[in-house]
């Protein structure tokens, strides 16, 4: 029973980050109508930014994280403005922006390799405490990380549902033409949305860095996981991504327990294929 609960908690913790990453990707799809294959690389850059500010420059943890996230947010907006914006809407489903994100991904990876070297680096845990509670062991680090993810998800939901800006995002996603007529600067919304998606990646990157370490290729598997999350949740559905992210984390946690970590990812990807077979639009997606 304890093992069961322990796995559940571990699953929820990693799942909350899949959710954060998936939400970014799904919002990008909803608003810009393109899939971003450089998503994982923004995650990687976020982690490196945190490393730079906290280890190399000696800033305290919280300011480093905030600066790191802000830097990636701006990087995302710059990339959107100068690389993606001129190509949006080209190709049948936005093939051109898709190819461009591919190039952005290579670019970011190479910049990371040149700047920080082709090696693993690490940052220390924020908190070394270990909590024992009814036979469950919880590292303080993981609890902090989970709390931040939950708060992030709640804030994102609130912003989208309740604020003027959130309405503008929904309006642009549903009908760009009409949104323009309402006085919404849709190009700006595109830019900010992409920036926010990148910023969400950076949040995940910064907070997971102490646990998983940092290297220029760390974005690869996270990239595919985020895809899995937003497909299973239904492309464009924020709620779907959150549910799918948590579910994926929990499933992975049990699979690792029973089959070993080598097969954990196989199951996640196989899940997508099965999903496509039975419900191509995702759990929360609308059937076409």
Partner 1 sequence: MNKNNILIFYEKSKSNAVISLIFFAVLLIIPAILRISSYRNESYVEGVLILCMMWAAMTLSWNLLMGYMGIWSLAQQVFFGIAAYTSAMMNYYLHMSPWLGFIVGPLCATLVGLLVAIPVLRLKAAPYIIIATMCLAEIVRLIFINLVDWTRGELGFWQMDAFNNILGINFNGADKIPYYYLIFIIFAAITLVCALLAKSSTGLAMKSIRDSQEAAESLGVDIVRTKIKVFLISAFMAGFCGVFFAHYIKILTPTDVFGPSMMTELIAMNVLGGIATIRGPIFGAFFLTLTMETLQGIDSYKLLIYALILIITTLVLPNGMLNSSAQFISWINKIKNLRLNKKVPLTEFSESG
Partner 2 sequence: MLKISNLNAYYGDVQVLYDVNLEVNDKEIVTILGSNGAGKTTLMKTICGIETKRSGVIEFQGENLMKVPAHKLVTKGITLAPEGRHLFPELTVKENLLLGAYAFKDKRKINDTYDWVLTLFPRLKERLIQYAGTMSGGEQQMCAIGRVLMSNPKFLMMDEPSLGLAPNIVDTVFDVITKINKEKGITIVVVEQNANIALQTADRGYVLENGVIGMSGSAQSMLESADIQKLYLGL
87 binds partner 2 (CB under 8 A): no
- Of 9-17, 53-61, 83-91, 164-172: span binding partner 2 (CB under 8 A): 164-172
CA 14 – CA 214 distance, rounded (Å): 17
Q: Are residues 194 and 76 in contact, defined by beta-carbon separation less than 8 angstroms?
A: yes
217 binds partner 2 (CB under 8 A): no
The single residue among 2, 136, 162, 269 that binds partner 1, judged by CB under 8 A, is: 269
181 binds partner 2 (CB under 8 A): yes
CA 241 – CA 185 distance, rounded (Å): 26
Q: Are residues 232 and 283 in contact, defined by beta-carbon separation less than 8 angstroms?
A: yes
The single residue among 38, 168, 192, 206 that binds partner 2, judged by CB under 8 A, is: 168
92 binds partner 1 (CB under 8 A): yes
The single residue among 111, 121, 150, 283 that binds partner 1, judged by CB under 8 A, is: 111
CA 283 – CA 276 distance, rounded (Å): 10
160 binds partner 2 (CB under 8 A): no
- Of 44-52, 159-167, 191-199, 228-236: span binding partner 1 (CB under 8 A): 228-236
Long-range pairs, 268-277, Cβ under 8 A, ≥24: 268/225, 268/228, 269/224, 269/228, 271/228, 271/232, 272/227, 272/228, 272/231, 272/232, 275/231, 275/232, 276/231
204 contacts which partner out of partner 2, partner 1, none, CB within 5 to 8 A by kind? Answer: none
Q: What is the DSSP string of 18-50?
A: HHHHHHHHHHHHHHH----TTHHHHHHHHHHHH
Using CB under 8 A as the binding criterion, the count of chain residues that bind partner 2 stands at 17
The contact mask relative to partner 1 for 136-165 (x = CB under 8 A, - = no) is ------------------------------
Residues that bind partner 2 (CB under 8 A): 164, 167-168, 170-171, 174-175, 177-186
């Amino acid at each position: 029973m304890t093992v069961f609960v322990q796995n559940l908690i571990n699953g929820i913790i990693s799942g909350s980050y899949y959710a954060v990453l998936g939400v970014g990707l799904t919002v990008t799809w909803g608003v810009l109508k393109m899939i971003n294959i450089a998503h994982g690389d923004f995650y990687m850059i976020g982690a490196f930014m945190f490393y730079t500010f906290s280890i190399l420059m000696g800033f305290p943890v919280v300011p480093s994280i905030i600066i790191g996230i802000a830097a990636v947010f701006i990087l995302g907006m710059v990339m959107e403005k100068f690389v993606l914006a001129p190509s949006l809407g080209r190709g049948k489903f936005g093939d051109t922006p898709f190819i461009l994100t591919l190039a952005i991904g290579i670019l970011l990876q190479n910049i990371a390799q040149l700047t920080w070297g082709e090696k693993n680096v690490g940052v220390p845990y924020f908190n070394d405490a270990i909590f024992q509670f009814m036979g469950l062991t919880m590292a303080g680090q993981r609890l902090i990380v989970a709390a931040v993810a939950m708060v992030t998800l709640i804030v994102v939901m609130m912003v989208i549902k309740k604020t003027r800006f959130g309405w503008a995002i929904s309006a642009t996603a549903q009908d760009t033409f009409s949104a323009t007529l309402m006085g919404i600067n849709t190009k700006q919304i595109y830019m900010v949305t992409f920036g926010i998606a990148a910023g969400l990646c950076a949040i995940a990157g910064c907070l997971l860095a102490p646990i998983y370490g940092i290297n220029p290729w760390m974005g690869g598997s996270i990239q595919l996981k985020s895809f899995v999350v937003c497909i299973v949740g239904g492309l464009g559905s924020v709620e779907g991504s959150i549910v799918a992210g948590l579910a994926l984390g929990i499933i992975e946690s049990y699979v690792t327990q029973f089959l070993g970590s080598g097969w954990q990812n196989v199951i996640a990807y196989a899940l997508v294929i099965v999903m496509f077979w039975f419900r191509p639009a995702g759990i929360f997606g609308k059937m076409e």
